[in-house]
Amino acid sequence: MKLCIVTPKVAIGDGQGRVNYEVAWEAIRRGHHVTLLASSVDLALQQHSQVDWISIPVKGYPLQLVREIAFSTQSAWWLNKHQKEFDLIKLNGAITSARGDVNAVHFVHSSWLRSPVNRSEQHSSLRSIYNWFYTTLNADWEKKAFSQAKVIVAVSKQVERELVEIGVPPECIRVILNGVDLQEFSPGEAKRQTWGLPEGVTLALFAGNAQTPRKNLDTVIRALAQVPELQLVVAGTTTGTTYPQLVASLDLSKRVHFLEHRSDVPELMKAVDLLVFPSRYEPFGLVVIEAMAAGLPVITAATTGAAEIITPECGIVLSEPDDIQALARALSLLTSHQGQRHQMGQAARTIAQQYSWTSMAQTYVDLFEELSKL
């Protein structure tokens, strides 16, 4: 089979990029030839004899929207010339205006556009106007891209529901959850002093880009104020936010540790006791399954796609992400019962083992092989 994958990045360290990285390697292992239309590709893939990399340069463009338009235009021009050379073309959302056979959906912009969380963030600043314009355009482009594909892959049941809401026929949708690196994220112990964190206390971890309010760090901080025996580690960019001021106003400065963006989250997870991630809108949420693989109990919200794999034995799913009292009760429960935390962490690891990157990639390539025979 000759497979073409169209995506900006094919590499470890990027959610969508990691999915395509694993899918490419699985296709190679089965003897297929892979062409990558991408701006950035892992070096080992670049050099593989079964891989052709068609570089789509977008560096230097000032805005994400402009970069995406440039990528879409260039990739579509190339695909329209070479489309008949492939048995199957895999796209990712509205990444190109050319037609694809399989479209993997990691984010539904139409749903985000309608979300009350998104609307609550809108105001008259240039940034909010740009974000609205960006989301509106992507929502329109996605509908066209989805209508041209034979199969739409949703990365969670939540995304599947959102696709149906915008008119994608249910029979055209397959759900393939994102995976996790079970070696990189694994149970263990790490010295807290590496990050300047206190010993002898229960530590909850919040990991994510806190600059976007949809990640919901504000609710976590307000709930923390009601659980005095718990401390919080924030691994994510907070530059330009008011979270440090909120922490100070609640007299939590000694109990909240801002670490900013981290590249060593797998090790950091070995130094904490639980993950708290009640995102207001999250199509999947890789950090949830990564924490589970690391043997951590998880507190999240039903608005996070990965919540569908969490059972009461391994975590707590809040029905409403902004329910401060419910979150405080969940934090208090896990803080007060060390034995229960340990048992939940073991159960979380067991569930995560069902969702390795290898298993995910095999499911994708099984689908490709099935479609290529039709």
Q: Give the pLDDT confidence of 55-109 residue by residue, as tens digits.
A: 999 998 989 999 999 999 999 999 999 999 999 999 999 999 999 999 999 999 9
**Arithmetic mean of pLDDT, 268-286:** 96
pLDDT of residue 14: 82
Does 230 have pLDDT greater than 60? yes
pLDDT of residue 189: 94
Average pLDDT, the chain: 95
What are 91's strand-pairing partners?
103
pLDDT of residue 123: 62
- For residue 304, which amino acid is it? T
Q: Do domains 2-179+356-372 and 192-352 have the same CATH topology?
A: yes
pLDDT of residue 332: 97
Q: Give the pLDDT confidence of 183-227 residue by residue, as tens digits.
A: 999 999 999 999 999 999 999 999 999 888 889 999 999 999 999
Does 137 have pLDDT greater than 90? yes
Does 124 have pLDDT greater than 70? no
- Helix 324-336 and helix 338-352: axis angle, to 10°? 100
Q: Give the pLDDT confidence of 153-173 residue by residue, as tens digits.
A: 999 999 999 999 999 999 999
Count CA atoms closer than 13 A to 242's CA, side-chain side. Answer: 6
pLDDT of residue 371: 96
pLDDT of residue 148: 94
CA–CA distance, 217 with 235 (Å, rounded to integer): 11
Domain ranges for the chain, please list them.
2-179+356-372, 192-352
Q: Which CATH number fits domain 2-179+356-372: 3.40.50.2000, 3.90.870.30, 3.40.50.720, 3.40.640.10?
A: 3.40.50.2000
How sure is the predictor about 122, in pLDDT bands with cuts at 50, 70 and 90? low
Residues of the chain with pLDDT > 90: what percent? 87
How sure is the predictor about 15, in pLDDT bands with cuts at 50, 70 and 90? confident
Q: Percent helix, strand, coil in the chain (nearest 5)? A: 45, 20, 35
pLDDT of residue 32: 98
Within 225-323, residue ranges assigned H as helices are 243-249, 265-268, 286-293
**Arithmetic mean of pLDDT, 250-257:** 97
**Arithmetic mean of pLDDT, 307-319:** 97
Burial class (CB in 10 A: 0-12, 13-18, 19+), 179: buried
Within the chain, residue ranges assigned H as helices are 15-29, 43-46, 64-82, 109-114, 116-121, 126-148, 157-165, 217-224, 243-249, 265-268, 286-293, 324-336, 338-352, 357-372
- CA angle, 339 then 342 then 345, to 5°: 150
Give domain 192-352's CATH superfamily.
Answer: Glycogen Phosphorylase B; (3.40.50.2000)
367 close to 174: Cβ distance less than 8 angstroms: yes
Does 115 have pLDDT greater than 60? yes
pLDDT of residue 131: 84
| pTM of the full structure | 0.92
- CA angle, 349 then 25 then 290, to 5°: 20
**Arithmetic mean of pLDDT, 123-137:** 82
pLDDT of residue 55: 97
